[in-house]
Amino acid sequence: MAVERIKVTVGVAGGIAAYKAVEVVRQLQDAGFDPHVVMTQAAERFVQPLTFAAITGHKVISSLWSEDAGASGGEVSGIEHIDEAQTTAALIVVPATADVLAKFAHGIADDFLTTMYLATTAPVIVAPAMNVNMWQHPATQANLLALQKRGVRIVEPGSGYLACGMVGGGRLAEENTIVAAVADALSNTTASEKTDELAGETVLVTAGGTREPIDPVRYIGNRSSGKMGYALAAKARCRGARVVLISAPASLPLPEGCELIPVTTSEEMLSAVMDHLAEASIVIMAAAVSDYRMAETATQKLKRNGPRTLQLEPTTDILQEIVKRRDPRTLVIGFAAETEDVLANGGAKLARKGVDALVLNDVSGTETGFDSDRNAGWFLTPESTTELVLSSKTEMAARILDEAKRLRSAHGRPVS
CATH number of domain containing 331: 3.40.50.10300
Task: Please indicate, yes or no, whether residues 39 and 156 belong to a single structural domain of this protein.
Answer: yes
Beta strands in 323-408 (DSSP E): 331-338, 357-362, 374-380, 385-392
Burial of 96: CB neighbours in 10 Å, binned 0-12, 13-18, 19+ = buried
pLDDT at 409: 78
Task: Please indicate, yes or no, whether residues 141 and 217 belong to a single structural domain of this protein.
Answer: no
Task: Please indicate, yes or no, whether residues 279 and 319 belong to a single structural domain of this protein.
Answer: yes
From 132, 156, 187, the end of a domain falls on: 187
Task: Please indicate, yes or no, whether residues 211 and 278 belong to a single structural domain of this protein.
Answer: yes
pLDDT at 77: 42
How many Å apart are CA 128 and CA 145, to the nearest integer? 13
pLDDT above 70: percentage of residues in the chain: 87
From 169, 187, 205, the end of a domain falls on: 187
Question: What is the number of domains present in the chain?
Answer: 2
Task: Please indicate, yes or no, whether residues 165 and 257 belong to a single structural domain of this protein.
Answer: no
Domain of 121, CATH number, reads 3.40.50.1950
Q: Give ∠ CA 253-254-256 in degrees, rounded to 5.
A: 120
How many Å apart are CA 205 and CA 201, to the nearest integer? 13
pLDDT at 68: 44
Task: Please indicate, yes or no, whether residues 16 and 162 belong to a single structural domain of this protein.
Answer: yes
Residues serving a catalytic function are: 164
Answer whether residue 392 shows pLDDT above 80.
Answer: no
pLDDT at 290: 95
**Residue 415, in any domain of the structure:** no
* Between 57 and 170, the higher pLDDT residue: 57
pLDDT level of residue 324 (50, 70, 90 thresholds): very high
Task: Please indicate, yes or no, whether residues 182 and 198 belong to a single structural domain of this protein.
Answer: no
**Residue 60, in any domain of the structure:** yes
pLDDT at 369: 61
**Residue 416, in any domain of the structure:** no
Task: Please indicate, yes or no, whether residues 159 and 201 belong to a single structural domain of this protein.
Answer: no
From 187, 208, 239, the end of a domain falls on: 187
Whole-prediction pTM value? 0.60
Task: Please indicate, yes or no, whether residues 141 and 198 belong to a single structural domain of this protein.
Answer: no
pLDDT at 41: 94
Answer whether residue 414 shows pLDDT above 60.
Answer: no
Task: Please indicate, yes or no, whether residues 180 and 307 belong to a single structural domain of this protein.
Answer: no
* Distant-in-sequence, close-in-space partners of 225: CB < 8 Å, separation ≥ 6: 208, 209, 250, 251, 252, 370, 371
How many Å apart are CA 198 and CA 405, to the nearest integer? 9
pLDDT at 69: 40
Answer whether residue 411 shows pLDDT above 80.
Answer: no
**Residue 57, in any domain of the structure:** yes
**Residue 29, in any domain of the structure:** yes
Average pLDDT, stretch 309-328?
Answer: 96
Task: Please indicate, yes or no, whether residues 123 and 227 belong to a single structural domain of this protein.
Answer: no
Give the SS3 label for residue 150: coil
Average pLDDT, stretch 210-225?
Answer: 94
* Between 68 and 116, the higher pLDDT residue: 116
Segment 193-204, tens digit of pLDDT: 567 889 899 999
How large is the C-alpha radius of gyration of the chain? 23
Answer whether residue 161 shows pLDDT above 60.
Answer: no
Average of per-residue pLDDT values in the chain: 87
Task: Please indicate, yes or no, whether residues 201 and 170 belong to a single structural domain of this protein.
Answer: no
Q: Which domain, by its residues, includes 316? A: 194-410
**Residue 219, in any domain of the structure:** yes
pLDDT at 76: 37
